[in-house]
Structure 1
Amino acid sequence: MAEEDTGQEKSQEPTQKRIQDARKKGDIARSKELTTLALLMASAAAALLFGGSVGQVMLDLFSFNFDLRRDELIDKAFMSYHLYRSLADAFLSLWSFFLLVTLAVIFSSVALGGWNFSGESLQPKGSRLDPIAGIKRMFSLKSLVELFKAIAKVLIVGAIAILAVYLLRPELMMLTSEAVRSAIDHSLTIIAWAFLVISAAMIFIVLVDVPFQLYDYNKKLKMTMQEIKDEMKSTEGKPEVKSKIRQLQYEMSQRKMMKEVPTADVVITNPTHYAVAIRYDQSKSDAPIVVAKGVDFMALKIREVAQEYEVTVLEAPALARALYYAAEIDEEVPSGLYTAVAQVLAYVFQLRDPSQSKTGARPPAEKELEIPPELRRDN
């Protein structure tokens, strides 16, 4: 929702979804001046590193291509060889130069906004042809900053270029007295250093442009309170959809829980309102685990499944209520109920032990089960 449509001020910081949507459209923070600086500095550095060798290769190529015999000039095969040899030598001498410059441009381009590719930014947009929008862009803050940068580049870079030429006059005049090869090497060195110094002047422009680009990008993505509310609605979905999702999630969790009931050692009941299934495996956990729990209809289903798979069902109302409210599914029983649950499991394991007399096995009475006051629930 546009700011002019709502009258609301875009004072809220952009959400993560807003930023991600902008990136999908190819809208990210970029500084052309930073890329230009990297290109110029890398070119100057490459000229200093590889300029001498490139110059020698170029001199050799001139000699190779202009010092020809008559029979070579009329031999098409030999001329093809000259062309191939010249291109190969030129490429071999320049590949390191181009590689350094290419890497500098790539990394400087992604230094501010990171890697991003979007096909939407390549699509034509009719809004770019809107004359009114174009006029607004001409008189925007960004246009004023661009004008300031253009003037600053002319003044700063021009001044440093003039100063560099003035300081290098003695060396430039000495070139006329040097041998050809020596003069070429010397001139390349002078040009490379002068180019490096002049390119460094762009640092002042970049120090202004990078913070401004970050500020302008963040300002453009800022949102009104209504936009944040609309985004939350679209992200979370309609209430009826969310309710249906919660219902499906609940049904899935209940089905998963019922599959765990046959693996329980005992089901402790209220007897009708609550049911909690407990499993204890010393090799997997240090304490008994609650594998299922439920009230009313779900408690009835747990008891039915337990009886179907011959899982012991024990009536202990106070313990069943305490376990239901204090323990979560797939978690250990609270430490305060260790003793009471241990008494129940001792009775269950005695029933399973063929060496024990089942007629002598007696379930623990309600008053024998120790339940701390803070875990006790009366209803």
Structure 2
Amino acid sequence: MSEEQDQDDKTEDPTLRRLEKAREEGQVLRSQDATTASVTLGVISFLYLGGTWLGSNLAEIFESSLSFGGFIREPSAVLIKQFAGALVETFLFLIPIFFVALALVIATAAGIGGFVLSSKAVAPQLSKINPLKGLARIFGLRAIIELLKAVLKFSLVAAFAGTFLYLTLDYFFYLGWADTNLAIKESLNLVFLGAAMTSLALLAIAAIDIPYQRFELIKKLKMSKKDVKDELKEMEGQPEVRQQIRRKQRELAEQRMLDDVPKADVVITNPSHFAVALAYDIEQAAAPRVVAKGSDFMALRIKEKALEVGVEVFEAPPLARALYFSVELGVCIPEALFQSVAQVIAYIYGLSSWRPGLEKPKKPKPKVPSEMNFDSSGNRKVNKKNHVEW
């Protein structure tokens, strides 16, 4: 009862860490029906394609084992020796078939759930020896489902095999009156065809079983809300995880800034060390707003993005530094920079309306108030003048 209650509490899908841990323990997606179908179809195909070679070699083995020359002094000893040799040759002859089946088992398992080697999966578990839990497994819901699956699989395979026998029964009777060589050849063809039909039934079963096994695995690995919170706390406590989270947050923030560059009216640059993108919407704000800003490599990316989407890039080193160090992202510019930025935006608007034959707007040289004069490290410069020009 307590196990059922615990399972009811597990309503959350497994996290990536939970899936990785389960994989380390050997709990991965597997389908016995898919493996059976793959091996059956693969071995049948191998036997069919190499049927002539296989048949001739087996015939030679049995012919040599039944051939005796001259007088035999101890027939029993000779027979044992002959048949022992035939068995060894037959075993060696069937080794390729064994390796084909083994390769198909490994390939199918790797294709469905990946190739996993785990000692925990094969280690003995004392909990499985509990008689009460054993009875619960035998008479539980899962056992009933497995029984129904077995009945359905048997019914489907029997239906395919029965249909094939019904359609070919008359031909089998006809082969009883045919030439021996022809009868053997056609009988083998019919056997291969019947086996292929059965393999199709197994493939149909596998197509149903794989999603079901995935559902069962996810259900088994589900977590409670407490499990998810505990795992998150555990991961956040690890330095490498915290570093990874910060890096991811920084990358997302940078990407959001780049996505906002097309909304800007102008990008003011240092030219290479700093870049600040400004957007001005007179209906929403009284002053231009910083939609993206960055230094060094990020400044270069903002500049490249602006050129890519057709946003004007304006070079003004003191103004770019003033905006970068004094205005936060998403915030309107301070009143001290109104005049400087207004000159730049007026120039940009003038360029957008300029046409050949008209006088081209003169590029301004905006002044920066002395209290807004920063060096490349963000330190304020001391200057006797009230404004700094560039």
> TM-score range, shorter-chain basis?
0.5 to 0.7
In structure 2, what is the Cα distance between the partners aligned to 1:205 and 1:166?
22
Q: Give 1:168's aligned amino acid.
A: T
Residue equivalent to 1:173: 173
Q: Partner of 2:127 in structure 1?
A: 127
Structure-2 change in CA distance of 1:192 and 1:145 (3 Å): same
| 1:196-345 equivalences in 2 (<5 Å) | 196-237=196-237, 287-288=272-273, 339-340=317-318
User: For residue 287 of structure 1, what is the amino acid of its counterpart?
Assistant: S
Deviation at 1:86, TM superposition (A): 7.7
Deviation at 1:233, TM superposition (A): 1.6
Q: Which amino acid aligns with 2:65?
A: N
Aligned length: 273
**Residue type matched to 1:55 in 2?**
G
The answer (yes or no) to whether the contact 2:273–2:296 under 8 Å persists in 1 is no
TM-score scaled by length of structure 1:
0.59
Could you tell me how far apart the structure 1 residues matched to 2:233 and 2:110 are? 33
Alignment of 1:1-379 (within 5 A): 9-70=9-70, 87=88, 91=92, 94=94, 97-237=97-237, 287-288=272-273, 339-340=317-318, 365=384, 367-370=386-389
Taking a change above 3 Å as real, the CA distance of residues 18 and 370 of structure 1, as seen in their structure-2 partners, is: farther
Q: Report if the CA contact (8 A) 1:46-1:101 is conserved.
A: no
Structure 1 residue identity aligned to 2:108: S
Paired amino acid for 1:230: D
Q: CA deviation at 1:61?
A: 1.8
Pairwise CA distance, 1:235: 1.5
Percent pairwise identity: 24
- Asked whether the equivalents of residues 28 and 217 of structure 1 are also in contact (C-alpha less than 8 Å), the reply is yes
Residues 153 and 205 in structure 1, CA contact (< 8 A), matched pair in contact too: yes
Query: Which runs of 5 or more structure 2 residues have no equivalent in the other structure?
Result: 247-269, 275-292, 303-312, 322-381
What CA deviation, in whole Å up to 9, does each residue of 1:117-140 have, x standing for no partner? 111111111111122322333344
Q: Cα–Cα, structure 1 residues 365 and 140, in superposed 2: closer, same or farther, change >3 Å?
A: farther
Distance 1:72 1:340, change over 3 A: farther
Question: For residues 320 and 189 of structure 2, what CA distance do their matches in structure 1 show?
Answer: 88
SS in 2 for 1:164: helix
Q: 1:5 to 1:97 in 2, by over 3 A?
A: closer
Which structure 1 segments of 5+ residues have no match? 250-284, 290-325, 344-362, 372-379
TM-score using structure 2 length: 0.57
